[in-house]
Amino acid sequence: MIKLSFSSLNLFRVDDRLKKERERLLVLKKENMELKKELEEVKTERYVEEVARDKLGMGRKGETIVVLPEIEYEEVERKRGRKLENWEKWYRVFFN
């Protein structure tokens, strides 16, 4: 009788662990799908050009790159709690 009780208890523990691991597997599969989508996007020419322009300050042949100084916008960005968009910086150059 005692042996049966311990076996039943052990079976419940294993079943509970199995359920948790299945839930974890579903979460990992979902994360894996999201990462695959992100990887596909990162491989596109559009994304590479966007990163080259926005983060590296690069441009196409014949283009002139104009970089606005970041120091002037730090206080405004801190007050708003976000980085200013490029158009907002240009607006401030001409209208502030």
User: pLDDT-based confidence at 31, cuts 50/70/90?
Assistant: very high
Collapse the DSSP code of 56 into the 3-class scheme (helix H, G, I; strand E, B; otherwise coil) and give the result. coil
Which residue in this structure is represented by tokens 């405004």? Answer: 76
For 47-86, the pLDDT digits (tens) are 999 888 888 888 888 888 877 666 667 777 878 888 878 7
pLDDT: which is higher, 15 or 20: 20
Following DSSP, what letter does each residue of 63-85 receive, concatenated?
-------SGGGHHHHHHHTSPPP
Please say whether the beta carbons of 59 and 65 come within 8 A: yes
Q: Give CA–CA dist 56/69, Å, rounded.
A: 14
Q: Which residues contact 93 (CB under 8 A, 6 or more apart)?
A: 68
Write down the pLDDT at residue 4.
58
Considering only CA atoms, which of 59, 58, 90, 54 is closest in space to residue 73?
Answer: 90
For 34-49, the pLDDT digits (tens) are 999 999 999 999 999 9
Q: List the chain domain ranges.
A: 1-60, 66-96
pTM for this one?
A: 0.51
